[in-house]
Amino acid sequence: MNRHEQALALARRGQVITWIALVGLAGVFIRALVFTPIERTQGPAQKIFYVHAPVAWAALLAFAVAGILSLLYLWLRDRKIDSIAAASAEVGLAFSVAMLTTGPIWGKTIWGTWWSWDARLTSTMFLFLLFIGYRVLRGAIGDPDMRARFSAVIGVMALALIPFIHMTVVWFRTLHPEPVVLRPDAPSLPGVMLVTLLLSVVVFTVLYVGFLLQRYALDILQDVREEAASAVS
Partner 1 sequence: MRSFWMAAWAVAAKDMKIEWRTKTAFASAIVFAVLVLSIFYFARDPTAVSALDIAPGALWVTFTFAAMLGLNRAFMLERENMAMDALLLAPIPPSAIFVGKLLGNLAFVGVVELVSLPLFILFYNLPIVRQLPALMGVIAMATIAFVSVGTLLSSMVVRTRFAELMLPVLLLPFLIPPVVGAVQLTSRILIGRPLSDLAGWLKLLASFDIVFVVLCFFLFEATLDE
**Rule CB under 8 A: is residue 168 a binding residue for partner 1?**
yes
What is the spatial distance between Cα 219 and Cα 150, in angstroms, rounded to a whole number? 17
Does position 120 bind partner 1 by CB under 8 A?
no
Is 152 near partner 1 (CB under 8 A)?
A: yes
150 near partner 1 (CB under 8 A) = yes
Report whether 211 contacts 22 (CB < 8 A).
no
Size of the site for partner 1 (CB under 8 A): 27
Q: Which listed residue (45, 141, 198, 224) binds partner 1 by CB under 8 A?
A: 141
DSSP 44: G
In whole angstroms, the minimum distance from the beta carbon of 86 to partner 1 comes to: 15
Question: Amino acid identity, residue 21?
Answer: A
CB 106 within 8 A of CB 39: no
Kindly state the smallest distance separating residue 133's Cβ from partner 1, in Å: 5
Least Å from the CB of residue 157 to partner 1? 7
Binding of partner 1 at residue 228 (CB under 8 A)?
no
Pick the piece of the chain touching partner 1 (CB under 8 A) from 4-12, 44-52, 80-88, 155-163.
155-163
The angle, 0 to 180 degrees and rounded to 10, between the axes of the packed helices 144-172 and 49-76 is: 130
Of 12, 172, 175, 227, the one binding partner 1 (CB under 8 A) is 172
161 is a site residue for partner 1 (CB under 8 A): yes
* Residue 137 binds to partner 1 (criterion: CB under 8 A): yes
Could you tell me the end-to-end alpha-carbon distance of the chain, in angstroms, rounded to an integer?
A: 25
Cα 148 from Cα 140, distance rounded (Å): 12
The rounded distance, in Å, linking the Cα atoms of 233 and 230 is 5
- Residue whose CB is less far from partner 1, 34 or 160: 160
Pick from 1, 160, 231, 232: which binds partner 1 (CB under 8 A)?
160
Rounded to 10°, the helix 49-76/79-110 angle is: 160
Which one among 98, 105, 153, 194 touches partner 1, defined by CB under 8 A?
Answer: 153
CA angle 155, 179, 127 (to 5 degrees): 20
Residue among 93, 38, 83 nearest 213 (CA): 83
Residues that bind partner 1 (CB under 8 A): 74, 126, 129-130, 132-133, 136-137, 140-141, 146, 149-150, 152-154, 156-157, 160-161, 164-165, 167-169, 171-172
